[in-house]
């Protein structure tokens, strides 16, 4: 379902930590330089690539020793912003998306437990560290958020849905501002092996790592798992005006749907509904969207279904809106993907530049009617509205529309 149009909601600050670096400007510079943040990795004989965060995290004690890496990443992303200091804490909400909470903590705990069952002394922090809401609660404590604290765990759509929930909370009057975003960190042996067993990880054999993940390409063969986090500070328009602060962009539309069909197979109709609801909420037509940041993970069926949905939404104007994905450059960050890509869309609007799908060499003939930027991207001086898609296992779909004022 979509939201009723109400108070205008603005993005005022952002934070971003991913395989391409720390901070939106750093990541945008890397994208414009055609850099790839992926690195080769072997999973029990399955050659793939992953997107690791290699920057030093700006995380203060006491959170280091009692929190999972996904929470460390979240703390680092929010630390790049003011954290909405100065607001009445009861008028601030915290809305956060996660894919799998506590993967690093779980892995190390099992290693310790099974190494010596009799002598194992597991940390008393294990249960609170792996709760799905551990990250959101930690952020709420650190930044004194008392208005609301929500965790969304809907696979790859998690943080896009968290952004939508925050919009709904502001438009309904429950809060005036919110810290929203998502984080995920599951690059541990057990989880990588589980993903490899699904045969959805990109298989990288005799291939440049920059070509590991190839959405839309005829040779695509899977996704590249990655870690990361992103944060957006969003505020109600009239409050923002009273305080005299400037906005980076406006959150103008949100749509969501559930396929109610299959745990792993995507549905054209579900994705169509989410995109149409986002357009309706924004008061826009498909032709108003100047760029579509596709979910596009690089799996054969996933990319095909999304393009079928896009064709249904755009109709005859299928070649008038450029479509690309940044996952080929930084990997698929699962529960954090919606927030990370929303932040990147803010950068895209600011630079009036559409990034290429980095590893797109030979577009699949099925997608010949679409405009798929490759090479060095496309300058778009009139770019005003962008859409960002996030579709997750379980059949959960979310679409966001972001507007440059």
In the numeric block, which tokens belong to residue 183? 């984080």
- Give catalytic status of residue 273 as yes or no: no
Q: What is the dihedral of CA 238, 244, 249, 254, to 10 degrees?
A: -20
Active-site residue, selected from the candidate residues 41, 104, 332, 385: 332
Nearest residue to 318 via CA among 371, 268, 388:
371
Q: Which helix (H) or strand (E) holds 179?
A: strand 177-184
Side-chain-facing half-sphere of 12: CA atoms under 13 Å: 23
How far, in Å, CA of 289 to CA of 323, rounded?
Answer: 11
SS3 for 199?
coil
Please, what's the b/e burial string for 147-173 (b: 16 or more CB within 10 A of its CB; e: otherwise)?
A: bbbbbbbbbbbbbbbbbbbbbbbbbee
Nearest residue to 60 via CA among 138, 5, 151:
138
In the numeric block, which tokens belong to residue 48? 């793939």
Side-chain-facing half-sphere of 200: CA atoms under 13 Å: 18
Nearest residue to 32 via CA among 42, 22, 24:
24
- Give catalytic status of residue 72 as yes or no: no
- Give catalytic status of residue 295 as yes or no: yes
User: Distances in Å between the alpha carbon of 275 and those of 227, 269, 340, 388?
Assistant: 26, 10, 19, 9
According to DSSP, the residues that pair with 1 across neighbouring strands are none
Active-site residue, selected from the candidate residues 295, 321, 345, 385: 295
Nearest residue to 337 via CA among 375, 345, 246:
345
SS3 for 233?
strand
Nearest residue to 377 via CA among 360, 361, 353:
353
Alpha helices (H) in 290-403, listed in sequence order: 300-314, 327-330, 337-351
SS3 for 358?
coil
Active-site residue, selected from the candidate residues 36, 156, 231, 321: 156
How far, in Å, CA of 298 to CA of 38, rounded?
Answer: 14
Q: Which helix (H) or strand (E) holds 74?
A: helix 69-79
Catalytic residues: 156, 295, 332
């Amino acid at each position: 379902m979509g939201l009723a149009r109400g108070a205008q909601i603005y993005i005022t600050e952002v934070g971003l930590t991913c395989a391409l670096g720390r901070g939106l400007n750093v990541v945008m510079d890397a994208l414009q330089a055609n850099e790839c943040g992926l690195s080769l990795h072997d999973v029990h004989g399955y050659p793939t690539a992953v997107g690791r965060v290699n920057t030093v995290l700006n995380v203060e004690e006491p959170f280091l020793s009692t929190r999972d890496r996904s929470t460390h990443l979240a703390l680092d992303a929010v630390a790049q912003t003011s954290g909405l200091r100065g607001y009445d804490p009861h008028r601030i909400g915290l809305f956060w998306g996660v894919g799998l909470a506590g993967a690093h903590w779980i892995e190390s705990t099992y290693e310790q437990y099974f190494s010596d069952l009799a002598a194992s002394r597991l940390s008393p922090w294990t249960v609170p560290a792996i709760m799905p809401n551990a990250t959101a609660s930690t952020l709420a404590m650190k930044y004194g958020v008392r208005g609301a604290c929500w965790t969304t765990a809907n696979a790859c759509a998690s943080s896009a849905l968290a952004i939508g929930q925050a919009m709904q909370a502001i438009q309904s009057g429950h809060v005036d501002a919110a810290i929203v975003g998502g984080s995920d960190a599951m690059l541990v042996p057990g989880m990588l092996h589980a993903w490899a067993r699904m045969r959805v990880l990109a298989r990288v054999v005799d291939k440049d790592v920059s070509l590991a993940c190839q959405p839309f390409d005829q040779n695509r063969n899977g996704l590249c798992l990655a870690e990361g986090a992103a944060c957006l500070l969003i505020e109600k328009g009239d409050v923002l005006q009273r305080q005299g602060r400037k906005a980076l962009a406006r959150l103008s539309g949100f749509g969501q749907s559930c396929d109610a069909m299959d745990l792993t197979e995507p549905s054209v109709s579900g994705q169509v509904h989410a995109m149409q609801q986002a357009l309706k909420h924004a008061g826009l037509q498909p032709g108003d969207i100047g760029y579509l940041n596709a979910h596009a993970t690089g799996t054969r069926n996933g990319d095909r279904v999304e393009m079928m949905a896009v064709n249904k939404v755009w109709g005859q104007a299928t070649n008038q809106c450029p479509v690309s994905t940044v996952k080929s450059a930084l990997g698929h960050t699962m529960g954090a993907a919606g927030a990370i890509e929303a932040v990147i869309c803010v950068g895209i609007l600011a630079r009036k530049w559409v990034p290429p799908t980095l590893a797109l060499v030979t577009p699949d003939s099925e997608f010949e009617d679409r405009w798929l930027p490759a090479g060095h991207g496309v300058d778009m001086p009139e770019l005003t509205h962008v859409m960002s898609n996030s579709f997750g296992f379980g059949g959960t779909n979310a679409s966001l529309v972001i507007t440059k004022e």
